[in-house]
Amino acid sequence: MVVTGPAGSVSSSTLAGSTLEGREVTPTSLLKSFTKRRAHACPVCESRFAGFQPAHNRPAAKCPGCGSLERHRLAWLFLQRETDLFAGRPLSLLHAAPEPMLKKRFRALNHLEYLSIDIESPIADEKMDMTQLDLDDETFDCTYCSHVLEHIPDDRAAMGELYRILRPGGWGLLLVPILRETTYEDPAIVDPADRLEAFGQADHVRKYGRDFADRLQSVGFSVEEIPYAATLDRQTSARYGLDVKELVHFCRKPRAGGEEPGDASGVLESLRSPVRP
Ligand SMILES: [Zn+2]
């Protein structure tokens, strides 16, 4: 029988000379096996395991613990490491189209006043149209919205609503699939099969390009486009199962008088120069 002590230490006296499925078991081989079984980790649910599961035609996308995908893990790492969301200061967060595993973690943060919204999802706290939020101006400190805007015909209206409900100095972390240099959309394409062919998914209404940041800026945001996974070392990326090509857009609502808020993402200061294309 395999015996592990505190913190996974292996008792060599117990194991010496034993075999496992016909193979000789030594402390070294057991340690290697143990390390391999815990080679990957999910920052969202904090579980460790041997590998990610296949999902969406990708061989290693999904966390076996909570179901997070690459973009969820990247966003969570970004929120943890680069924003003030976990600092313990009371904050209000609007979560658009809530992913269940993230909603659970946000809800567990006692200092967070949390609201999730969606036009149809049963797990959202409130049903709302992103282009007409039933929320007062300047009521939230931060917002998180991932892979939502590519589903919304009037995405500029939705961006404008996120801007409107943020307090001056507030920030938003926005993710969309960036697939080209310039955004491609055609409102005449409405049939799901045609949308699948044109935009890659039957319920997408465009393919965003690198000009996504321009749209966000057009509603007032100050925007940083950050290839966040690419700023992490290769081992960290592999460990957390990240897509190094994934971009995050960190958006800030300027304070009155145009002053840039400085407290939301101090660490980003050091990333700006090397990561900008
Ligand atoms: Zn997980």
35-81 pLDDT, tens digit each: 777 899 999 999 999 999 999 999 999 999 999 999 999 999 999 99
Specify the amino acid at residue 39: A
Tell me the CA–centroid distance for residue 48 and ligand 1, in Å.
8
Topology of domain 51-275 in CATH is Rossmann fold (3.40.50)
User: Nearest CA to 208 among 172, 243, 184?
Assistant: 184
Burial status of residue 32 (CB atoms within 10 A of its CB: 0-12, 13-18, 19 or more): exposed
- State which amino acid sits at residue 242: L
Find the 51 Cα to ligand 1 centroid distance in Å.
Answer: 11
Ligand 1 center from residue 92 Cα (angstroms) = 24
Going from the Cα of 34 to the center of ligand 1, the distance in angstroms, rounded, reads: 19
| Contacts for 276 with CB less than 8 Å, ≥ 6 apart | 225
Query: Which spans in 38-84 are helix H?
Result: 70-82
Q: Distance, CA 105 to ligand 1 centroid (Å)?
A: 11
**Looking at the predicted structure, is the pLDDT value of residue 253 above 70?**
yes
Both structure tokens of 15: 């194991």
Tokens 């145009």 sit at which residue? Answer: 258
CA angle (56 as vertex; 41, 193 as ends), nearest 5: 155
Q: What angle do CA 79, 277, 69 make, to 5 degrees?
A: 40
In angstroms, rounded to a whole number, what is the distance separating the alpha carbons of residues 194 and 65?
Answer: 35
Per-residue pLDDT, averaged over 259-270, amounts to 46
67 CA to centre of ligand 1 in angstroms: 6
102-156 residue pLDDT tens: 999 999 999 999 999 999 999 999 999 999 999 999 999 999 999 999 999 999 9
Tell me the CA–centroid distance for residue 69 and ligand 1, in Å. Answer: 8
Expressed in angstroms and rounded, the spacing between residue 142 Cα and the centre of ligand 1 is: 23
16 vs 203, higher pLDDT: 203
Q: Is the pLDDT of residue 13 over 80?
A: no
For residues 191 and 205, what is the distance between their CA atoms, to the nearest angstrom? 10
User: What is the distance in A from the centroid of ligand 1 to the CA of 46?
Assistant: 6
Please report which residue ranges of 38-138 form alpha helices under DSSP H. Answer: 70-82, 100-107
Rounded CA gap, 130 and 55, in Å? 28
In this predicted structure, the answer to whether residue 183 has a pLDDT above a threshold of 90 is yes
Main-chain dihedrals φ then ψ at residue 2, nearest 5 degrees: -80, 130
Report residue 260's pLDDT band, with 50, 70 and 90 as the boundaries.
low
Q: What are the residue ranges of CATH 3.40.50.150 in the chain?
A: 51-275
Q: What is the distance between the alpha carbons of residues 226 and 122, in angstroms, rounded to a whole number?
A: 32
